[in-house]
Chain A
């Protein structure tokens, strides 16, 4: 079974802090994705990556950056956390771009105070 893990289930940070969310997948997938999920808005794509050291902006990249130094690991960075970044963050991976199943991690619920 594909396994996608995220470093924390719950996280509480203060405004202005730098926040790292880590995601690791064990299936040698090329593609990895970061979404945020807010009530009524569904999942919105923040960033994605098709390969090591490669990244592409999604629909809402402002206030975020990413890092993919190894194929299995994709990190989401909040450079200076703000209260409007309080959300559920979901990481996913897939073996091909689009049209194929994405495998999701359990999510990180981030609260920014």
Chain B
């Protein structure tokens, strides 16, 4: 079963706009990560946020974590055509034996 559920399932924006996607999960977690997958390729790690952190930045990426709501958001600022990809959140938790559990992903299309 999926621990993380991404919302929206798909997102279409113009280049230069910001893209925001959300991830909700069901049980307490140790860490939450975001990965990107370009079409037909493997996943690439973007950012990890620990359960005791509330916000983290990496370049144009901003991740927030609200453990009380069991949710996280990924913001991509000033999007580029190259940001077109699927984005997945992944959680690890003691209850799951510390394996990563992935959500269904958000497909992002950035139009030039």
Q: Are chains A and B native binding partners rather than an unrelated pairing?
A: yes
Taking Cβ atoms with an 8 Å cutoff, the residues of A that contact B are 4, 33, 35, 40-45, 48, 58-59, 88, 90, 92, 97-107, 109
Residue of B nearest to A58 (CB): B99
Per-residue CB proximity of B1-27 to A under 8 Å, as 1/0?
Answer: 110100000000000000000000000
The B3-59 residues at the A interface (CB cut-off 8 A) are: 4, 30-31, 33, 35, 40-45, 48
Inter-chain contact B102/A99, CB cutoff 8 Å: no
CA distance A82 to B104 in the complex (A): 24
Residue of A nearest to B2 (CB): A42
Per-residue CB proximity of B93-104 to A under 8 Å, as 1/0?
Answer: 000011111111
Residue of A nearest to B42 (CB): A104
Total interface residues on B, CB under 8 Å, equals 26
Q: Which of B42, B48, B90 has the most CB of A within 10 A?
A: B42
A-B contact list, 26 entries, CB within 8 Å: A42-B2, A42-B103, A42-B105, A43-B43, A43-B88, A44-B102, A45-B100, A45-B101, A58-B99, A88-B40, A90-B42, A90-B43, A98-B97, A98-B98, A98-B100, A99-B30, A99-B48, A99-B92, A101-B48, A102-B43, A103-B45, A104-B35, A104-B42, A106-B41, A106-B42, A107-B40
List the A side residues contacting B42 at CB < 8 Å.
4, 90, 92, 104-107
